[in-house]
Structure 1
Amino acid sequence: MSGYGDRETSDTTTSGNYSEEGKKFREFLNSLPRANRMKDVEDYVTTSTFRTFSNRWNFTPEQDEKLPAQVSQPNRLNLPVSYTMSDISVKDFMRDAADLACRAIAQDKLGHHDVAVYFYRESISLLNRTRSELHRLQQEADEQHASVINERILSIETRTQEYQKRINDLEIISKRKLEEEIENSKKSGDELELERAKFLVSQALEEDESGNDDEAVKLYTEAVQLCLEAVRCKLRFKRDGKIDANMARQIESLAKQALDRAEVIKGVRGASISGNSNNASQTPEFSRMQASSGIDDDEDGSVSSIDPKKALVVSGKGGYTEDEKRVLLSTSRVNGVDYLPFMQVDLQEKFAFQLPFSDRNGLLALSPKQQKNFARWARPSEIWSNPRMFERIDCFSIKQTIVSDCSVVASLSISALYEKRFGKKLITPIIYPQNKSGVPVYNPCGKYLVKLNVNGVWRKVIIDDLLPVGKHGELLCSYSNNKGELWVSLLEKAYLKVMGGYDFPGSNSNIDLHALTGWIPERVSINGKESHSEFNKEKTFQKMHSRLHKGDVLITVATGEMTTQEEERTGLVSTHAYAVLDIQERLGVRLFLLKNPWSHVRWKGNYSELDVVHWTDEMKREFKYDPNSASMFDNGVFWIDYDSLIHFYDVIYMSWNPSLFSYTTCVHRTWDAGCGPVKDVYNIGENPQYRLEVKSQSSSAIWCVLSRHITELEDFKNNREYITLLVYDTDGKRVYYPHDPPPIIDGVRINSPHYLCKIILPSAVHKRYTLVVSQYEKMKTIHYTLRAYSSCPFSLQEIKNPYNPCYQMTLKSALNGHTMLVELRGPKIYDVGFDIMCSNVVDVKAPGFFTKKSSGPFRPGFVILECENLPSGVYNIIRQHSSQIVKGHLF
């Protein structure tokens, strides 16, 4: 063979014999009456075909020199999904098993061990299916033929054991090679100090140029200390012949320059340092703007790097109210860790340290599968000789391992493909530190900040670079096949830190992509069981096909529950997410290009690499696809037709680019469990309601996303809160009856953190709608964010309850000098407060007279107000309007 993957061979004799054997078998089979097929087929197979391959498979796993020098490529049979067990299945399985075994042996001989292992495993899978079918035939055969079949079964078991043993041997060889590579690539402690010194200097220069003198001096000083230590180390290396003196002089010069610059700053600017370093300390107000991860409109209508001048227009006030800030603060603590909103000042986060950074929150919890194979936590510099943040952004290099986060990896894959396909930044800008060009960089000091959209706003997540490593040096987290590339592992670690650790309960791509990109989540149920409308096959395809190629949407699909037999038959994985890489419609055929996050295990049905029926020469040319080449190695990428997709998959997850809209705003609120009835069967008058006013000059659309804040892993794992949005055409007035008038959009209550409601305006209109937040059962208090996107100007305002409870107290004495103490109590999880207003008093000149007095700032669960020297009269006690207040007894 001429090289890896080359299928040409000079062993034409064996190949020809096999082809003739197959032809003879089919002629023989067609000549048999149906009643005689079972017996005669088994006689033929066991005496001819299997024996032919048994002779060709004469291979001792422990001795590579016994591998055949050349291996022919027998003809393969297509195994469509609808294939059923029959008399011919034994012969077909054995023939394909032989085909795969030949490939395994050939790749084994060439030293392509990973490829060989794949083919050995596939051959074993088919041999096991052959054995199962032979067991069935054995039960139906007479005693004589049952004995012959049993011999064949034993022979298959022997062959299977040999292949499995060879797989084990090759895995050991591969792991040893990996361990050797890791050991050889490790850097010494002195080299790591040198890297950190260079990074300190680069960070000091950036702070210096930004005018942050205090921080610059500090970093210069730390850099000098590390540089001097590195110089001493390099001089030692020089004696060992490892590093030349020229490099040592460069580092010494770098230290001198850093020291000189620090002295200049101290001497020239002196006491003004502190005054000149306040640029980064000015924290802007929170904004209702869709905080971007680096996306916005470009001139061609696609998505590009963020340009503040082209940001979405915020409807209403830009700043948040005190109530909203309390909501965002209360949901900052997720799984016991605080994740504060990301603000401009966080761009000045310190990333350079003399010692490697370790996360103060500790190591992430490992999953049971990780614990079984875990050996140690390692930094990138201990795994690769040249770690870097990016080698190249490529969806095909991303690989999931034993962490059950397929949707996260699928989300990373389609985000990477988006950046590569459109040349626009989407997911990479959320990683810090970054260089002057805004490109994330490797930090030898080990600290990173990742910006994630969690619980209503973008929040900062601090992580270190410690990664879980297995007993044979393999990474136990998702990673990039590009050696030393870090971004995949770091983004996964940051996201899973928020989610409680690597022991991840699973998610979906709507949730993941919303956190990673801020794009608008839409869930489309294919089977229609969870949707208020039937699945529109044609409309959905046209929308996905058109929008995907414009860069307007990211798509994943997910399977439902499948039996082991269905998984084996189809090649699909139960309850598993797949990235949609491409959608094509050519020659009247609609195909989807999908990627399994595992980077192996592919679809076996129509238009798979096994399908020799549908992949005609014309189709191959049109799609530039060669099934034979694709079958040489399984990377988890496959074509599947649209009909098969909607048959075997349950859900389509689409995430839409916010730049499709021109206007946006949001509100953050709390809905108390005790407010209103438990169920919205008869009364929705006390549900949170909002007035949406739209002024459209032409056809337009308003999308509203209701997002429930989640702060505990158990809540995320077993989400029992079913939320939705109802839309009424009631001129923006409060609605009390759920079906009078009937809603124009009656949302289905789902237990997902995000619910999307689309309001389509076919023509120019000026209307006021009422949006009602609804739950299936109000069992617990929830915090939520309601964000609206619109292609036309609009306003979104909370509909206040005009009938706020008012308690009246009358002091009837003719004398002044009354004393009154008012207490308001409630569960401590709620912030409470009230106002007292003088309504009608006898003496306005009394020392204790006031028009209005407040209990002060909201307090958790308990607040009092003591008033002295009050004049006689009437006093109104009014509970303050706040979503934080629990309804109940006030005194």
Structure 2
Amino acid sequence: MAPDGTLNFQEAEAALAKAAVKASQQDFDAAYDLYVRAAKAFLHLARATASSNSGTRVQSTLLSARCRENAAKALERAEQIKARRSAPTSQSAMETIAFKRRWAHTYLEDQLAVLDRSTRVNGHKFDPWEARHESIGPIANPPFKDPDGALTLSQSQAELFASWWRACESKDESSIMTTPNLATEDIYQHIVTNCSVIAGLAVCWEHNLRFGTNLCLSSIYPQHDDGTAQFRSDGMYSVRLLLNGTHRQAIIDDTLPATDGGLLLCASTRGTRVLWPSIIEKAYMKVMGGYDFPGSNPANDLHAIIGWIPEDIDLHGSGFQEEGTWRRVYEGFKTGQCLVTLGTGEALRMASAGPNLVPLHGYSVIGMSNLGTNGQSIMNPWITSGGGSVPNPSSRMFSRGVDSQAKFDGLLIGSLWMEWNEVCEAFDGLYLNWDPSPFKNTRSFHGWAHNGILWIKCTKFAIDPTNQSSGDDNYSEMWFLLTRHVVSKDHPSEFISLDTASRGGQIDPLAEDLLSRQSGYTNSTHVLVCSHLVNQNHPSMRSAFLSRSANRPVAFTLTVFSQTAINLMEHPRKLPFSAQVDGTFTSRTSGGNPTYRTFMHNPQYRLRLQPGVVQGSKTLRMILEATKNVAIKATIVWGGGKRVTELTQGDVQMDSGPYVYGTTAVGGLLKPSDYTLILSTFTPGQQSPYSISVEADGPVSLEAIPSEGAGMFTKSVKGKWCGSSAAGNPSFGRYHHNPHFDIQVAQATTLFCRLQHVDAPSGTAINLTIFRKDDAGQIKEQVVTSGSYADAVCGVATSPFQLQGPAVYSAIVSTFDPGVEAGFELTAYSSACPVSLSASELN
């Protein structure tokens, strides 16, 4: 069986024959599973054979036809068993058969199409790995030369480059493929541009020394019987890499760049020239577009080279847990299930690191200890000398805090020793690769995220409780790995995001609400999310994939690792009714979160959800998308489709959860009615275009609600309560000492006013009351008031009222308690004519 779970031709035929045996024994469940498995395998083989260059064209065509014939046979028998096992009605049986046919032909063909479209990377073709790739063929004479040509050199390499060196043509007998005598510190790089790759190769070799594994070596073909790479005298090698959703073949020759002194300008080794680091690096650099690879992070590189699960941890992120991370990483390192590398940022964070750390560089963790203090042994694989000799490791590393004779948990003498708290301070990134073999079940889904408006793919994972191991504490854990397919180093990195949520019981596609977005976008190739099941009796999980690209669709692979049986199901069908609106957060309409007085200025929409033919609550799904650097949120409130100035908990029907960058989603069941949809940014003044997409199973529409005072004449003034003018409410006997403002209009008009405090202490209650003034300027009767004193963040406002003009009115602004010194802003809105606001003295 291939590592990605697909069967070769003999295994597929064996599965087909075994299925027939199980069917004859009346074991229809086992027979059904085997027929489906065989059908999938034959479909895969049919496509692979049709595009193969091996053998004659006639042979390939005949074999492809045979595979498709066997696939159809297996599918037909699986459909018969399905119909017999479930004993459905005639109509139901037809629907079941039609569904299975669509699933086997359309679904599987779509999956293979995604992988086929991702075959060409950086101008070269990397076919999916097949068993035949393990055998390259007879030795070529003259030596093999890669038809794709030499790799592009980096600028640093080009400055020192003198000639190409080939091991197969070299008379230096010290060159070998591998040796057990190679020390981890012997692996180095002379040119620093791809430090992440070299750091990854070093930790793989250290793992091989500690645990007797063949990491990296097992990726090079041809191989010896023990699974280690074999030296080939014609210089031709086939390297197996996990790339764009599946293992693929990279064919290279052993031509390597060198200086005039014979020093290799690529991954190399001290002393005896061991070739495997150079071969692995060259194959991966071919995929990445050449030696001018700008660098990645070691976790991403090792995922491609050895297939271990990558995890990136921001050591200075808000969610980083120093002690919890240490315990998890140390346990994984000690047991050999975790490879650890580190990366510095643009600026060194720790002055005491001195010359031992450099910015934007990758480091290998080759030892960890919890004796006395928690710490790590760190190796820098960069050779800094400009000559042809390689310095002794002790000349570029130091040890401190460790007994000179000590060697425990992989700690190597002469390495840079740092305590864990120092590591967390000095480095920016912690990069991990986890062994996937402890997970008993792995499934992958390959799909497309289309350009422009956000596209979401929700995948549900149904758990089979009968396959759970009660003695396994990890059986409820599931890891979701989202991988963006790489096309070209010249394309800007698309941003991807992954989130998961869980719910128990049966899945109702139409009743499910969308996931609230918890994570922002990243331009990394991979995103890993670890989840635990909530209900272990009848658990189910779903994951949401979100991605955007300005210019082109993005292919992705979603892989799930689990201790329990998992089943991937496609996205629920789209709901029949939809609406979409585009808008812009401007400097005025970006009002910030509800703690800001400008929250009321955020864009708002009347969301009308109608009953339709079927009565009762309706399922609604909504996506809000903005630029990736703007944190946003969507809130649906019981506002009758009118503008809302402040949120009250009882009025909120549903929201998208915490503010997140770029994209957020909200959904659930709503009764048909008119609601107010509020779109808000976390911080006021952030500018960005946005798009709202709504789906529902009842008629739905969105209509923009005008901002407060839209279409009216507006006038604002600012003032301050201070000293004697901070007089408080009328019960304190000095109410008329509060700030006064004359409101003048030239003609009859409808007017309303809003008062907001600017920097008052939390809980400050305010009031606005408007009085008529007589011809002598004396304050007379009250015309309108904002009501009781209130401490709302949005302030207080009067209801609209009629003014007879020309006339002068007086507005008195006050706090409930006297002595509160703070600023305020008073705004008047007039329907028919301009309005004048001016401070007036107490008469």
User: TM-score, structure 2 length as denominator?
Assistant: 0.51
**Which of the residues 163, 175, 191 maps onto 1:402?**
191
How far residue 770 of structure 1 moved from its aligned partner, in angstroms, is 2.7
Say whether 1:536 aligns with 2:330. Answer: no
Runs of 4+ in 1 over 6 A off after TM superposition: 281-287, 316-320
**Which of the residues 375, 379, 390 maps onto 2:178?**
390
Please name the residue that 1:888 is paired with.
none
**Which of the residues 153, 156, 166 maps onto 1:369?**
156
Task: Indicate the RMSD between aligned Cα atoms, in angstroms.
Answer: 3.8
CA 1:318/1:481 → structure 2, altered by over 3 Å: closer, same or farther?
Answer: farther
Say whether 1:661 aligns with 2:435. Answer: no
* Inter-partner Cα distance in structure 2 for 1:620 and 1:477: 32
Please name the residue that 1:558 is paired with.
343
CA 1:403/1:502 → structure 2, altered by over 3 Å: closer, same or farther?
Answer: farther
Say whether 1:725 aligns with 2:499. Answer: yes
**Which of the residues 330, 336, 340 maps onto 1:545?**
330
User: 1:285-684 alignment to 2 at 5 Å?
Assistant: 321-380=108-167, 381-382=169-170, 384-392=172-180, 393-528=182-317, 534-562=319-347, 566=351, 569=354, 571-587=356-372, 589-598=373-382, 609=398, 614=401, 619-620=403-404, 637-674=415-452, 677-678=453-454
The code of the aligned residue for 2:483 comes to S
Cα deviation, 1:300-347, whole Å, max 9, x if unaligned, reads xxxxxxxxxxxxxxxx99998111111111110001110000101222
**Which of the residues 571, 582, 587 maps onto 1:799?**
571
In 2, are the aligned partners of 1:688 and 1:772 still within 8 Å (CA)? yes
In 2, are the aligned partners of 1:374 and 1:470 still within 8 Å (CA)? yes
How far residue 734 of structure 1 moved from its aligned partner, in angstroms, is 4.8
CA 1:742/1:366 → structure 2, altered by over 3 Å: closer, same or farther?
Answer: closer
Say whether 1:689 aligns with 2:458. Answer: yes
SS at match of 1:503: coil
Question: What stretches of structure 1 of length at least 5 have no aligned partner?
Answer: 1-272, 288-315, 679-685, 806-891
Overall identity of the aligned pairs, in %: 28
The code of the aligned residue for 1:573 comes to V
**Which of the residues 489, 504, 527 maps onto 1:713?**
489
Say whether 1:758 aligns with 2:530. Answer: yes
Cα deviation, 1:676-696, whole Å, max 9, x if unaligned, reads x34xxxxxxx52111211234
Cα deviation, 1:486-524, whole Å, max 9, x if unaligned, reads 101111111001101111111101210100111111111
In 1, are the aligned partners of 2:441 and 2:563 still within 8 Å (CA)? yes
In 2, are the aligned partners of 1:726 and 1:774 still within 8 Å (CA)? no
In 1, are the aligned partners of 2:502 and 2:533 still within 8 Å (CA)? no
* Inter-partner Cα distance in structure 1 for 2:435 and 2:291: 29
Please name the residue that 2:649 is paired with.
none
How far residue 667 of structure 1 moved from its aligned partner, in angstroms, is 1.2
* Inter-partner Cα distance in structure 1 for 2:397 and 2:370: 16
* Inter-partner Cα distance in structure 2 for 1:586 and 1:337: 49
> Hey, which of these two has a bigger chunk of strand by percent?
2
> How many residues end up aligned between the 2 structures?
469
Please name the residue that 1:785 is paired with.
557
How far residue 724 of structure 1 moved from its aligned partner, in angstroms, is 2.1
* Inter-partner Cα distance in structure 2 for 1:775 and 1:412: 31
How far residue 398 of structure 1 moved from its aligned partner, in angstroms, is 0.5
Cα deviation, 1:352-384, whole Å, max 9, x if unaligned, reads 112111100000001111111111112113262
Please name the residue that 2:478 is paired with.
702
In 1, are the aligned partners of 2:460 and 2:543 still within 8 Å (CA)? yes
How far residue 573 of structure 1 moved from its aligned partner, in angstroms, is 1.0
Question: What stretches of structure 2 of length at least 5 have no aligned partner?
Answer: 1-54, 72-102, 386-390, 578-843
Structure with larger RCO (C-alpha < 8 A, sep 6+): 1
CA 1:561/1:656 → structure 2, altered by over 3 Å: closer, same or farther?
Answer: same
* Inter-partner Cα distance in structure 1 for 2:521 and 2:420: 28
* Inter-partner Cα distance in structure 2 for 1:736 and 1:568: 55
How far residue 386 of structure 1 moved from its aligned partner, in angstroms, is 4.1
* Inter-partner Cα distance in structure 1 for 2:558 and 2:108: 15
The code of the aligned residue for 2:149 comes to G
Please name the residue that 2:11 is paired with.
none
Cα deviation, 1:733-776, whole Å, max 9, x if unaligned, reads 55899xx6654x72332111111111113663312333211136
In 2, are the aligned partners of 1:608 and 1:640 still within 8 Å (CA)? no
The code of the aligned residue for 1:788 comes to V
How far residue 563 of structure 1 moved from its aligned partner, in angstroms, is 5.7
How far residue 436 of structure 1 moved from its aligned partner, in angstroms, is 3.8
* Inter-partner Cα distance in structure 1 for 2:329 and 2:269: 28
Cα deviation, 1:134-166, whole Å, max 9, x if unaligned, reads xxxxxxxxxxxxxxxxxxxxxxxxxxxxxxxxx
How far residue 577 of structure 1 moved from its aligned partner, in angstroms, is 1.1
User: TM-score, structure 1 length as denominator?
Assistant: 0.48
> Hey, which of these two has a bigger chunk of helix by percent?
1
Moved more, 320-329 or 489-498: 320-329
How far residue 664 of structure 1 moved from its aligned partner, in angstroms, is 1.0
* Inter-partner Cα distance in structure 2 for 1:417 and 1:624: 13
* Inter-partner Cα distance in structure 1 for 2:142 and 2:267: 26
In 2, are the aligned partners of 1:694 and 1:765 still within 8 Å (CA)? no
* Inter-partner Cα distance in structure 2 for 1:338 and 1:804: 41
Cα deviation, 1:194-216, whole Å, max 9, x if unaligned, reads xxxxxxxxxxxxxxxxxxxxxxx
SS at match of 1:538: helix
In 2, are the aligned partners of 1:430 and 1:450 still within 8 Å (CA)? yes
* Inter-partner Cα distance in structure 2 for 1:708 and 1:449: 24
* Inter-partner Cα distance in structure 1 for 2:258 and 2:549: 44
* Inter-partner Cα distance in structure 2 for 1:394 and 1:284: 48
* Inter-partner Cα distance in structure 2 for 1:567 and 1:574: 14
CA 1:567/1:768 → structure 2, altered by over 3 Å: closer, same or farther?
Answer: same
CA 1:563/1:439 → structure 2, altered by over 3 Å: closer, same or farther?
Answer: closer
In 2, are the aligned partners of 1:394 and 1:413 still within 8 Å (CA)? no
* Inter-partner Cα distance in structure 1 for 2:127 and 2:548: 31
In 1, are the aligned partners of 2:459 and 2:571 still within 8 Å (CA)? yes
* Inter-partner Cα distance in structure 2 for 1:284 and 1:344: 17
In 2, are the aligned partners of 1:403 and 1:477 still within 8 Å (CA)? no
Moved more, 545-554 or 757-766: 757-766
CA 1:519/1:317 → structure 2, altered by over 3 Å: closer, same or farther?
Answer: farther
The code of the aligned residue for 1:770 comes to R
* Inter-partner Cα distance in structure 2 for 1:690 and 1:778: 24
